């Protein structure tokens, strides 16, 4: 994956945080990926208000992988932090369920395939 604006590979500059669609669309196209630098310069170019924790999508990427949560929670109210973490819990749970569902489909598919092979 590369930054669609400057084409850097995120090796030296981290990717931008994952935002809610409404906030993201004010500064980039849905299919754009931005690095942190391009993200910040877009914000400035377009005169957008600073991003807060409320703009950040509660997902493992923002929470664990990049540490954006730790960065943005410094200016967030305890209520917002609590809500964000609750949503993150739900998102993670949905992710887990979705993965379990995928695994189940895969197992079924494998069983069917083996069964068909046995018939031949
Ligand atoms: Zn960039």
Strand partners, 15: 35
65 and 80 share one domain: yes
Cβ proximity of 19 and 55 under 8 Å: yes
Match 């887990």 to its residue by tokens: 96
Per-residue pLDDT tens digits for 92-101: 888 888 778 8
Per-residue pLDDT tens digits for 55-64: 999 998 999 8
120 and 73 share one domain: yes
Centroid of ligand 1 to alpha carbon of 85 (angstroms): 29
61 and 120 share one domain: yes
29 and 2 share one domain: yes
Per-position b or e across 49-83, b if 16+ CB within 10 A of its CB: eebebebbbbbeebbeebebbeebbeebeeeeeee
22 and 6 share one domain: yes
Confidence at residue 37, expressed as pLDDT on a 0 to 100 scale: 96
120 and 69 share one domain: yes
Centroid of ligand 1 to alpha carbon of 5 (angstroms): 5
- Residues whose beta carbons lie less than 5 angstroms from ion ligand 1: 3, 5-6, 35, 38
Per-residue pLDDT tens digits for 13-67: 999 999 999 999 999 998 999 999 999 999 999 999 999 999 999 998 999 888 9
* Cα separation values, 14 from 11, 46, 100, 114, 120, Å: 7, 21, 30, 44, 52
Per the structure, the complete domain to which residue 81 belongs is given by 52-120
- DSSP secondary structure letter of residue 14: P
92 and 37 share one domain: no
45 and 56 share one domain: no
Centroid of ligand 1 to alpha carbon of 101 (angstroms): 36
38 and 60 share one domain: no
Number of separate domains in the chain: 2
């Amino acid at each position: 994956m590369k930054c669609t604006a400057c084409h850097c590979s995120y090796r030296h500059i981290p990717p931008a945080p994952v935002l809610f669609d409404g906030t993201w669309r004010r500064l980039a196209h849905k299919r754009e990926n931005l690095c942190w630098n391009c993200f910040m310069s877009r914000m400035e170019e377009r005169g957008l208000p600073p991003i807060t924790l409320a703009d950040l999508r509660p997902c493992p990427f923002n929470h664990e992988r990049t540490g954006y949560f730790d960065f943005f929670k410094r200016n967030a109210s305890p209520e917002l932090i609590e809500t964000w973490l609750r949503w993150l819990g739900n998102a993670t749970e949905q992710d887990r369920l979705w993965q379990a569902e995928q695994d189940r489909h895969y197992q079924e598919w494998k069983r069917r395939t083996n069964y068909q092979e046995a018939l031949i």
